[in-house]
Amino acid sequence: MKLYTFPAAPSPRRVHLFLAEKGLDLEQQIIDLRSGEHLVSEHLAGHPQRTVPTLELDDGTLLTESVAICRYLEERQPEPALLGTNPVERARITDADHWIEMHGLLAVMDAFRNHVRGMKDRALPGTRPVAQIPELAKRGLQRYHWFLDDFNQRLDGQAYAAGDRFSVADITALVTVDFAHSAIKIGLPEDAQAINQWYQRVCKRPAILKANSAD
């Protein structure tokens, strides 16, 4: 199998941190999103949106969604478990991961892609031109602040995004928070104690430290 990726972008970073936590090393090919390589690369010809990360399996299947790539990698190498170890835990992790993606990551994406000059006519990932909507950038900012409030509340009384164990949901949240910081210049609110403690806890993990220093 082979991973087509561009590690600096947030969705690929979800997969890269997942690989780092697993200690997995995959064959990778960088697709330079900045130069538009994804629009012409023949490796992505079977994938209409031409987004990365895309994982090509040995039978030729292309997985284009980060959640599906992580699920497949978890089955290939179950330890350490990042998607849970029993039915309730697996459900809680899927729940938290999807909630963080929809309310956090998508909010930051709306705020970023509908605002910065470099994303003109690229307000959505994919090959088709999509005009920016300034009001949607504003709404994204508002939603991200709501997400931070809600996530802080969710973390009150539990160490990690889905409970007492680190999981893929923490990776999605970390990618969201870091991307908000770098792309739309929103940090963590100082008075949001639970989320600040969570952030310190997650950033101290050896795999995250190592992956961050390699960036």
Comparing CB distances to its own copies, the nearer of 66 and 177 is 66
Closest CA to 148 of 184, 198, 189: 189
Q: Where are the beta strands (DSSP E) in the chain?
A: 2-5, 27-30, 54-56, 62-63
Binding marks (x or -) toward its own copies, 25..64, rule CB under 8 A? -----------------------xx-------x-x-x-xx
CA–CA dist 36, 40 (Å, integer): 7
Comparing CB distances to its own copies, the nearer of 106 and 205 is 106
Task: Supply φ then ψ for residue 30, to 5 degrees.
Answer: -75, 130
Comparing CB distances to its own copies, the nearer of 125 and 212 is 125
What is the closest distance, in whole angstroms, from the C-beta atom of residue 31 to its own copies in the complex? 18
Contact 3, 27 (CB under 8 A): yes
CA–CA dist 145, 142 (Å, integer): 5
**Residues interacting with its own copies, by CB under 8 A?**
48-49, 57, 59, 61, 63-65, 67-69, 71-72, 75-76, 87-88, 90-92, 94-95, 98-99, 102-103, 124, 128, 130-131, 133, 135-136, 139, 143, 146, 150, 153-154
